[in-house]
Amino acid sequence: MSATIIDGKAFAATIRGKVADHVGRLKEAHGITPGLAVVLVGEDPASQVYVRSKGKQTVECGMASFEHKLDAGTSEADLLALIDTLNNDPAVHGILVQLPLPGHLDSDLVINAIDPAKDVDGFHISNVGLLGTGQKSMVPCTPLGCLMMLRDHLGSLSGLDAVVLGRSNIVGKPMAQLLLGESCTVTIAHSRTRDLAQVVRRADIVVAAVGRAEMVPGDWIKPGATVIDVGINRIERDGKNVLVGDVDFASVAQVAGAITPVPGGVGPMTIACLLANTVTACCRANGLAEPEGLTA
């Protein structure tokens, strides 16, 4: 069997198109422009690239982009004051503080200072609690992107057996909550799971988010399963630096029914869902109907 490739790059372009269409309608019908504020503290190279990409795509979708670049030595008080200003700015509907923060800043304190309604990363403890209890929340972008791709490929997920590899607050736990919301039977597996291969082997859906290069081989996969590979790992192969996922693509693709590649799978969906969350936040703030196909 040769798996269908789930093209995250193409799907993300479709999501961005839907975002742009909805932004256009908001402007025309209500005179509202969704705004996304991104805060970058320090000069981490990877974060700088990511923030530039977010800003570019925000503008391309017709939204307002507000970038705040702060020195690495910025005090906690100054950062919290900026967040308070953004919380109270009606032109800003989404706020994202780029992680990781410099070591002297308390990430949890900073994230939880963001207005939950503007927390488009979905990391605020209020949004975590709302998601966990099945209520309306802002949903973390990467799990939301995974869910969108699963829905698009499989249709109804009801009754399917899903295994989430990884228990992080950013991906693993919210992914499990979303799958529960779709009426899947969900197992969260991790480094201490006994007989991990057997646990994964029973799953109709596997979401790998452990951060270990090519950890999952083909013989762990149930024939025909759908595999979503969240991992992005840089390794050296044949004298070159290459990006690989958490699953061994070559062997898994021979067994799975569908699989996301790395790169070009889940990665592009993360920013697309950030834009979608910003539009959703804007609609909620103004008492308007949420955009179809852009929320959980």
**Which three-class secondary structure string do you get for 74-133?**
CCHHHHHHHHHHHHCCCCCCEEEECCCCCCCCCHHHHHCCCCHHHECCCCCHHHHHHHHC
58 C-beta neighbours (distance < 10 Å), count: 26
pLDDT at position 96: 97
133 pLDDT above the threshold of 80: yes
pLDDT digits (tens, 9 = 90+) for 262-290: 999 999 999 999 999 999 999 999 999 99
Helix (H, G, I), strand (E, B) or coil at 199: helix
Structure tokens at 78: 């100054």
When pLDDT is averaged across residues 251-264 and rounded to a whole number, the result is 97
The DSSP bridge partners found for residue 162 are 186, 205
pLDDT digits (tens, 9 = 90+) for 145-170: 999 999 999 999 999 999 999 999 99
| Vertex 161: Cα angle to 274 and 272 (nearest 5) | 10
**How far is CA 80 from each of CA 71, 106, 128, rounded to the nearest angstrom?**
14, 11, 21
pLDDT at position 46: 84
Contact 64, 97 (CB under 8 A): no
pLDDT digits (tens, 9 = 90+) for 17-50: 999 999 999 999 999 999 999 999 998 888 888 8
pLDDT digits (tens, 9 = 90+) for 175-233: 999 999 999 999 999 989 999 999 999 999 999 999 999 999 999 999 999 999 999 99
pLDDT at position 50: 85
1 pLDDT above the threshold of 70: no
Complete edge-to-edge strand list for the sheet that includes strand 64-70: 64-70, 35-41, 94-97
Residues marked as catalytic: 54, 98, 121
